[in-house]
Amino acid sequence: MNKVEATPTKIINNTDSKDRATLWSDLKALMKVGIINSNVMTAFAGFWLALYFTGASFTDHWHTFFITMIGTALVIAGACVLNNYYDRDIDPLMNRTKSRATVTGTIPLFYIFLLGVTLSVLGVILLMLTTIQAAFFGALGWFSYFVLYTVWSKRRYTINTAIGSLSGAVPPLIGWAAVDPNLHMVAFIMFLTIFIWQTPHFLALAMKKCEEYKAAGIPMLPVVHGFAITKRQMVIYITCLLPLPFYLYSLGTIFMVIATVLNVGWLLLGVRGFFVKEDIKWANAMFIYSLFYLTLFFLAMIIVTIPSIV
């Protein structure tokens, strides 16, 4: 009898565990955890370099650090959730988005909308506890991603990638402004680096998912104008990255060498695209390199300045 009674309990517990795991997976997909992680990383780099250039110590700003990182993550998460809410009509047409909760209905749409608004508001409020400037940049990033990109340009113009890049370039400004509202030139170079980086990064993704974007009616550059012009645009943007490390000479020779090697390596890989036959394979290599580039670029910034801050 004990065995018979224990079996339903075990089944119920397993079902509850699966439901919780599914809910958590749905929430992570809605908030786009990968995007949050990369943006928080660059926000941290901005925060860290602001400490470096103001001669401040991390131990004196640890509370501001946590508020800034959490606030930034919440603003980004809120914008991503609302992006999914708005795109619920086209997401069923793309393989990488058709399993989102906005499509499957595992979470009611009203709660998804409420979640997006709540996360956005909480994020801006937290950033206001640091500086008004940090909150302003957080709100600006939210506006450029959800309003300018998602609502206005994504379904209308091939330049949607560049417009969407504004939001992804804002986090270093948030991090910097939380420490020093009077932004240094280095903060704007960081902003410009990420802004330029995003176009070849996302165009590589657009090439990989070209058929899905076409099915969804999204006018990405490779969908409208083909792979050849997309490759040229990617190389042009990467070329624009070449001089930027030299504006960061104050970070030292080691950093400039690392950043320059990254730029040259990416440019060579980009030029190689003009001579390959397997475009999708090349686009995948470009996409992977872009992730490697961003991580190493900002990690190098942090490492070379550690002795002056800790």
pLDDT tens for each residue of 28-49:
999 999 999 999 999 999 999 9
Say what percent of the chain tops pLDDT 90. Answer: 87
Q: To which residue do tokens 């508020």 refer?
A: 67
Q: To which residue do tokens 């009674």 refer?
A: 5
Residue 36 CB-half CA count within 13 A: 23
Q: To which residue do tokens 């602001």 refer?
A: 50
User: How far is Cα of residue 224 from the mean position of the Cα atoms in its chain?
Assistant: 24
Question: Tens digit of pLDDT for each residue in 53-105?
Answer: 999 989 899 999 999 999 999 999 999 999 999 999 999 988 888 889 999 99
CATH: 1.10.600, 1.10.287, 1.20.140, 3.40.710. Which one for 18-309?
1.10.600
Q: Are 174 and 46 in contact (CB under 8 A)?
A: yes
pLDDT reported for residue 19:
64
Give the residue extent of every domain in the chain.
18-309
> pTM for the full model?
0.91
pLDDT reported for residue 297:
97
- Confidence check: pLDDT of 6 > 60: no
Dist CA 235 CA 138 (whole Å) = 30
Question: Tens digit of pLDDT for each residue in 217-267?
Answer: 999 999 999 999 999 999 999 999 999 999 999 999 999 999 999 999 999
